[in-house]
Amino acid sequence: MRTVTKDTITDVFAGYFGTDTDPRVREVLVALARHLHAFTREVNLTHEEWQKALEIMEWAGRITTPERNEFVLMSDVMGLSSLVDMVNSRADATSSSVLGPFHVSNAPPLAMGGDMKRDFGGEVLLVEGHVRDTAGNPIAGATLDIWQTAPNGLYSSQDPDQDIHSFHGLMTCDDDGRYAFTTVKPVSYTVPTDGPVGEILNAAGRHPWRPSHLHYIAAAEGFRTLVTEVFPDDDPYLDQDTVFGVRDDLVMHYESRPADTFPDGMELSGKVKEDYLQVTFDVVLANA
Amino acid sequence: MRTVTKDTITDVFAGYFGTDTDPRVREVLVALARHLHAFTREVNLTHEEWQKALEIMEWAGRITTPERNEFVLMSDVMGLSSLVDMVNSRADATSSSVLGPFHVSNAPPLAMGGDMKRDFGGEVLLVEGHVRDTAGNPIAGATLDIWQTAPNGLYSSQDPDQDIHSFHGLMTCDDDGRYAFTTVKPVSYTVPTDGPVGEILNAAGRHPWRPSHLHYIAAAEGFRTLVTEVFPDDDPYLDQDTVFGVRDDLVMHYESRPADTFPDGMELSGKVKEDYLQVTFDVVLANA
């Protein structure tokens, strides 16, 4: 088609596809073009705004590294990451929630009852629970890849004072699907605001805070891998998580308990001399 | 809102905006989120597909330089650049068409009747025309920033054998709004396919060809700056320009003329010993 108009361009785009292309690739790309074209027409996007969008992408590209992925963060604050989680969630399983840009692969094993806080200060938090299938049966040997911020609000990849696997651990559930470990209570923190995402948040009059949370990737053979988070129910940012990650079934009460109730069989048994916090977070995995 | 669902996330996104934000920023960002959210729901985008999209953006970021902007190219092949041109075009002026990623700023002056081909081989092309307002009055002193590929199909920024302003020139129209220069006929060429845009084109079963063209940025005080292109009417890719840039009013006939008709007053006068091509391209600028 020689003359393309603003009303025909999506059809022309679809018409350019070869006949033997993957139907899913075609479906996704044509739908993406249709929605981006509709957006452009709807707001009558100016050349200056288009240029600004390009500058944002270039800036994101310049500062993205394996340790800091500005494109993931942009997807997060636009609600895209959470929406992908939601359209792929199963109603009968634990909700999924954003992976975020700070997960570090190959976390060291975390033994049953092990401790992630090591020499860091902060109130001890005992985290325990079970991983079960949708019928309530325990999933023996399910793995939990767990990570969180240090008490200073920084992930290991953001903090030159932490080693790369600080506050990262890989736990394997026992035959009852049970897991337990200690850490410090995670803290609310801001997403990085020194790049284009900070500029977007600022232009939108939005704060950059996330409610505190522990990240989990729960996996077991025969089950759908679940990326999720658990939030304390007293966090001031629960109602406005800047990355849209909060779901009702992921908000848990962190119970304050006296030191003398700290259970035996944990790495910190005998070392906890003060009140501690305890939270139970059970995970339900859907079949693959 | 504590629990965000796939059906409420766009409203939650809009609700996060501060009360004193720029209304246009809010309009554009909320519309963008709404369309991206609708896209994600419509195709049930998987985590693997989301991850693939992020890898494409990261890859584009890694290879983007001032000389090669993969984000511009991505916008071009998705039809976005052309659509921005079209929604901003004025029906009573010459159509705009893609800037593309190969324009080099600060082109050297090109005198009236000057020559851009210099030592490059290829058939001489005489380009002439007028720049006028929408009432048909000449615009004295209008400037034309002109650029094109060399006969090898490469722009100066892509070709280590060309200096950076090769086949770039800045012409100033005379009191009658007239301009004239010589060059070689531009050639059809492929957009770069060694990055993520090449992967997208390949997945879509699309070729990477653009019909040959001359680029113009026409500017004059009091008028809207026009970014456009002129295409020869015999190019085999006119009906499937991979960046959607062709408009009927930009397609011109390149007339073959005998050497002895070559006009006086041109830099190449007296040097053209063979048949040459001639094209007239008149430009109409809208008021600012």
Answer yes or no: do A50 and B75 touch at CB < 8 A: yes
CB-nearest to A61 from B64, B78, B238 is B64
**CB-CB neighbors (< 8 A) of B78 in chain A:** 13, 32-33, 36
Write down the pLDDT at residue B42.
98
- Beta pairing class for A109-110 and A168-172: parallel
- List chain A residues with pLDDT less than 50: none
**Whether A80 and B36 lie within 8 Å, measured CB to CB:** yes
Per-residue pLDDT tens digits for B214-241: 999 999 999 999 999 999 999 999 999 9
Tokens of B262: 């070559």
pLDDT of residue B102: 86
Q: Would you state the pLDDT for residue B68?
A: 87
Interface with chain A: mutation pick from B30, B56, B57, highest number of A CBs within 10 Å? B57
Per-residue pLDDT at B122: 86
Q: For residue B82, give both structure tokens.
A: 């052309």
* pLDDT > 90 in chain B, percent: 92
Give the C-alpha separation, A221 to A287, whole Å: 9
Which residue of chain B comes nearest to A38, CA vs CA?
B35
A246 touches chain B (CB under 8 A): yes
Q: What is the mean pLDDT of residues B97-118?
A: 93
Q: Tell me: pLDDT of B115 over 60.
A: yes
Q: Describe the crossing of helices B47-63 and A47-63 by its angle, rounded to 10 degrees.
A: 90
| Contact (CB<8Å) A240/B62 | no
Question: Measured between beta carbons, which residues in chain B are less than 8 angstroms from residue A78?
Answer: 13, 32-33, 36
Asked if B36's CB is within 8 angstroms of A43's CB, the reply is no
pLDDT of the residue at B67: 78
CA-nearest residue of chain B to A224?
B47
Which chain A residues touch B7 with a CB distance below 8 Å? none
Q: Which residues numbered 1-40 in A keep a CB inside 8 Å of some CB on B?
A: 1-6, 9-10, 12-13, 16-22, 25-29, 31-40
Question: B90: how many CB neighbours lie within 10 A of its CB?
Answer: 15
Count how many pairs of residues, chain A against chain B, have C-beta atoms within 8 Å: 220
Report the residue of chain A nearest B201, measured CA to CA: A17
> Is B9's CB within 8 Å of A248's CB?
no
Domain borders along chain A are 9-75, 92-285
- Kindly report the nearest CA distance between residue A107 and chain B, in angstroms: 21
Record the tokens describing residue B241, joined without a space.
């320009």
Rounded-to-10 torsion of CA A247, A249, A250, A254: 130
Alpha-helical runs (H) found in A64-206: 70-77, 80-87, 196-203
- Taking phi over 0 as left and psi of -120 to 50 as alpha, with beta for the rest, A118 belongs to left
Subunit contact A35:B31, Cβ cutoff 8 A: no
Å between B266 CA and nearest CA of chain A: 34
A284/chain B closest Cα distance in angstroms: 19
Structure pTM? 0.89
Q: Are the Cβ atoms of A82 and B44 closer than 8 angstroms?
A: no
For residue range B73-104, list pLDDT tens digits in order.
Answer: 999 999 999 999 999 988 999 999 998 888 99
How big, in percent rounded to 5, are the helix, strand and coil portions of chain B? Answer: 30, 20, 50
- Mutation test of the interface with chain A: which of B12, B34, B47, choosing the one with the most A Cβ atoms within 10 A? B47
Chain A 159-188, residues with CB within 8 Å of chain B CB atoms: none
Find the residue in A nearest to B44 (Cα).
Answer: A87
Which of A5, A43, A206 is facing B27, going by the closest CB pair?
Answer: A43
Domain boundaries B76-285, corresponding CATH code: 2.60.130.10
Dihedral angle, C-alpha B76, B78, B79, B84, nearest 10 °: -70
The CATH code that applies to domain A92-285 is 2.60.130.10
pLDDT tens by residue, B195-219 = 999 999 999 999 999 999 999 999 9
Other beta carbons within 10 Å of B256: 10
Question: Would you put residue A124 in left (φ > 0), alpha (ψ -120 to 50) or beta?
Answer: beta
Closest to A99 measured CA to CA, from A52, A66, A147: A147
A234-261 pLDDT, tens digit per residue, is 999 999 999 999 999 999 999 999 999 9
Q: What is the mean pLDDT of chain B?
A: 95
Say what the pLDDT of residue A3 is.
Answer: 78
